């Protein structure tokens, strides 16, 4: 396979060279951090008064973690290192849970980000020959604009349609012979279910690849998507605190996401103790942004659970790989004392061909006992018409879930189209235990 690179020197740099870049950039970014109200207060207490206090990469450990709550408390400008006149873009979280968080980018920051996204796209085999339909929302959310500018920089023809309006999405995919999509896995599954209704067949489309991200999903989901569409699906990882998409991306070998270590320092920690864990161990991902000057964020606790692994990839890149996100520290459900992640339930559902791809998890209480109810939809094309088939499907889901998560779930089988469809991030878990 011919491997394409966007910036070959950096992408194929040796570990030593990558670490040298990291150290010099970390020192630079620490100096910018010391211009912000937040880090001005915090870093001197940790013994860091200037970049000269960072002599090796190991000195990173002296820097305290930055939490989501720090971003909220510093709203709107407590983490700003430059003046507004030097800022060219801001992004913000929806703030549905209270105070929003805000991110600032200077012209150079935007340029570094866009280059990382362009690098990610080229690593998947994307090029200026491609037609790119961007189905992520535009606006304050970083997902849409991040990929948009990266794809433009690569030279793709960009269709900035944003999320939703499935009929129109399908029409444009057909009319413009779209090759590449940026989309959430749940919406891509939904589009497949709507193809037949739109009177458009897969043969009339020219899809080659999809960049899937913004919500955790299982390997089973990826495989299902690849089979349904006959395309390659590339996992993408990013978060607005670290600019957005382009933090880690899968290359053409689709064997874990390369985390761009010239742009970020990744660490995996034990979420309870904060201790840094070795490669291969599952824990919370902590990221330091090495290029953003307008708003430096050091050792940010992402709350995403994953592990890092080394080893040269067949693509020649030595940037370590990030595992699939196994869940979020705050997504974890505790059901009758057992820790369960929604991804474990999704894995089971995706293995069962008789049910569709949409699902919801309900948590309720019966007396003191937690009850887990999994709602799924019957897959319309596999229904035999027999009541016994319905019983068998329910039984199989129950048994497989019990084997996987050690909990006896209730399973509700619904007709296709019953469960809500999410065009952005899917809401998979409804916890009603507090209301009971």
Partner 1 sequence: MPKLLSVFIDNRPGRLESVTKILTEQNINIRAFTIQDRGDSGLMKMFVDKSEDAHLILADRGFACALKEVLVISVPDKPGNLHRLTAIMTENSVNIADVFGFILEPDQRGLCCMEIKEPISKSVRESLVESGFTILTDVDVNQL
Binding site for partner 1 (CB under 8 A): 193, 196-197, 378-381, 383-388, 390, 412-418
Contacts of 392 (CB under 8 A, 6+ apart): none
Closer by beta carbon to partner 1, 68 or else 375: 375
What angle, 0 to 180 degrees and rounded to 10, lies between the N-to-C axes of helices 219-229 and 342-350?
40
- What are the distances in angstroms from CA 63 to CA 44, 60, 97, 321? 10, 6, 28, 24
Closer by beta carbon to partner 1, 179 or else 193: 193
Quick check: 192 and 146 in contact, CB under 8 A? no
Closer by beta carbon to partner 1, 270 or else 391: 391
- Minimum CB–partner distance for residue 392 and partner 1 (Å): 13
Distance, in Å, from the CA atom of 85 to the CA atom of 106, rounded to the nearest integer, reads 9
- Minimum CB–partner distance for residue 374 and partner 1 (Å): 12
- Minimum CB–partner distance for residue 391 and partner 1 (Å): 9
- Minimum CB–partner distance for residue 384 and partner 1 (Å): 6
Closer by beta carbon to partner 1, 122 or else 374: 374
Q: Which of 232, 244, 226, 225 is nearest to 150 (CA)?
A: 244
Closer by beta carbon to partner 1, 50 or else 410: 410
Is the preceding peptide bond at 76 cis, omega within 30 degrees of 0? yes
Q: Which of 59, 9, 66 is nearest to 33 (CA)?
A: 66
Quick check: 321 and 249 in contact, CB under 8 A? no
- Minimum CB–partner distance for residue 20 and partner 1 (Å): 57
Distance, in Å, from the CA atom of 374 to the CA atom of 410, rounded to the nearest integer, reads 6
Task: State whether residue 38 is helix, strand or coil.
Answer: helix
- Minimum CB–partner distance for residue 322 and partner 1 (Å): 37
- Minimum CB–partner distance for residue 354 and partner 1 (Å): 10
Closer by beta carbon to partner 1, 51 or else 389: 389
Closer by beta carbon to partner 1, 353 or else 417: 417
Task: State whether residue 295 is helix, strand or coil.
Answer: coil
CB-based burial of residue 395 (10 Å sphere; 0-12 exposed, 13-18 middle, 19+ buried)?
A: exposed
Residue whose pair of structure tokens reads 């290359």 in the numeric block:
251
């Amino acid at each position: 396979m011919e491997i394409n690179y966007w910036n070959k020197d950096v992408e194929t740099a040796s570990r030593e060279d990558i670490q040298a870049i990291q150290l010099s950039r970390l020192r630079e970014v620490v100096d910018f951090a010391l211009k912000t109200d937040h880090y001005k207060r915090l870093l001197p207490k940790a013994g860091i008064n200037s970049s000269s206090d960072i002599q090796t990469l190991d000195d990173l450990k002296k820097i305290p973690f930055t939490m989501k709550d720090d971003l909220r408390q510093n709203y709107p400008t407590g983490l700003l290192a430059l003046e507004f006149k030097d800022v060219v873009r801001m992004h913000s979280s929806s703030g549905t849970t209270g105070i929003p968080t805000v991110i600032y980018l200077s012209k150079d920051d935007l340029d570094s980000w866009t280059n990382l996204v362009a690098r990610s796209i080229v690593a998947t085999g994307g090029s200026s020959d491609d037609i790119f339909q961007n189905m992520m929302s535009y606006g304050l959310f970083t997902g849409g604009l991040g990929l948009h500018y990266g794809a433009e920089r690569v030279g793709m023809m960009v269709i900035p349609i944003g999320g939703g309006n499935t009929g129109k999405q399908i029409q444009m995919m057909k009319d413009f012979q779209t090759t590449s999509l940026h989309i959430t896995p749940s919406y891509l599954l939904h589009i497949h279910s709507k193809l037949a209704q739109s009177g458009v067949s897969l043969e009339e489309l020219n899809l080659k690849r999809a960049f899937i991200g913004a919500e955790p999903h299982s390997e089973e989901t990826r495989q299902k998507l690849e089979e349904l569409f006959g395309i390659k699906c590339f996992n993408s990882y990013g978060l607005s605190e670290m600019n957005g998409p382009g933090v880690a991306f899968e290359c053409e070998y689709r064997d874990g996401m390369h985390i761009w270590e010239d742009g970020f320092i990744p660490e995996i920690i034990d979420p309870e103790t904060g201790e840094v864990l070795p490669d291969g161990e599952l824990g919370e991902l902590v990221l330091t942004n090495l290029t953003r000057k307008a708003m430096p964020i050091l050792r940010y606790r992402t709350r995403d659970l994953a592990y890092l692994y080394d080893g040269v990839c067949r693509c020649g890149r030595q940037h370590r790989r990030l595992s699939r996100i196994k869940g979020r520290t705050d997504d974890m459900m505790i059901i009758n004392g057992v820790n369960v992640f929604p991804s474990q339930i999704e894995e089971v559902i995706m293995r069962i061909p008789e049910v569709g791809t949409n699902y919801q998890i309900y948590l309720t209480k019966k007396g003191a006992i937690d009850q887990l109810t999994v709602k799924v939809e019957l897959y319309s094309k596999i229904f035999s018409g027999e009541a016994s088939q319905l019983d068998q499907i329910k039984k199989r889901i129950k048994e497989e879930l019990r084997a996987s998560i050690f909990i006896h779930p209730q399973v509700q089988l619904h007709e296709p189209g019953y469960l809500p469809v999410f065009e952005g991030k899917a809401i998979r878990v409804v916890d009603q235990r507090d209301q009971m």
